[in-house]
Amino acid sequence: MITRLIALGTILFVFSAWPHHNMSATFDLNNRVTLTGTLTKFDWRNPHIELFVEAKGDKDQTETWSVEGPPPVFFRDRDVSKSDIEAGLGKTITVEASRARDGSRWGLLRTLTLPNGKLVSACPQNC
């Protein structure tokens, strides 16, 4: 990934990945939330993955959060596949995310802890 970024910045490689929207404009990287809850759904496609997590809110109410992550290839490079995420459906995961600036229950993934304990960091891209 780091090679891709360097290549992008300097020699305009023939094939290049582009962010789908500006992360720091959409998400406040200084405002984080940690969610431990049930993985209910996910979308494992470009340009970025999306995880849906049901977690308890401040008043013990159930809240559904949507957390956006890097593209699937980012996880592929870290030996995490779609089947690893599928295996987590209905189970407890923990995500740390930067909250959306609009205050909605939407975040940008910083770290993901799978039910088997595997920790994946989306930094430095998402930090």
CA–CA gap between residue 125 and residue 69 (Å, rounded) = 10
d(CA 13, CA 7) in angstroms, rounded, equals 6
Instruction: Reduce the DSSP state of residue 123 to 3 states and report it.
Output: coil
**Side chain identity, residue 79:** D
Sign of torsion, CA 112 44 70 106? negative
Contact flag: residue 127 with another protein (CB under 8 A): yes
- Give the x-and-dash track for 9-48 against another protein (CB under 8 A): -xxxxxxxxxxxxxxxxx-xxxxx-----------xxxx-
- Min. distance of Cβ 79 from another protein in angstroms? 9
Per rule CB under 8 A, count of chain residues that contact another protein:
46
Query: Is residue 83 a contact point for another protein (CB under 8 A)?
Result: no
C-beta of 3: minimal distance to another protein in Å? 5
The piece of 34-42, 51-59, 76-84, 87-95 that touches another protein (CB under 8 A) is 76-84
Question: Residue written as tokens 């998402």?
Answer: 126
In order, the DSSP letters of 46-63 are SS--EEEEEEE-TTS-EE
Site residues, another protein (CB under 8 A): 1-3, 6-7, 10-26, 28-32, 44-47, 71-73, 76-77, 82, 96, 98, 101, 110-111, 121, 123-124, 127
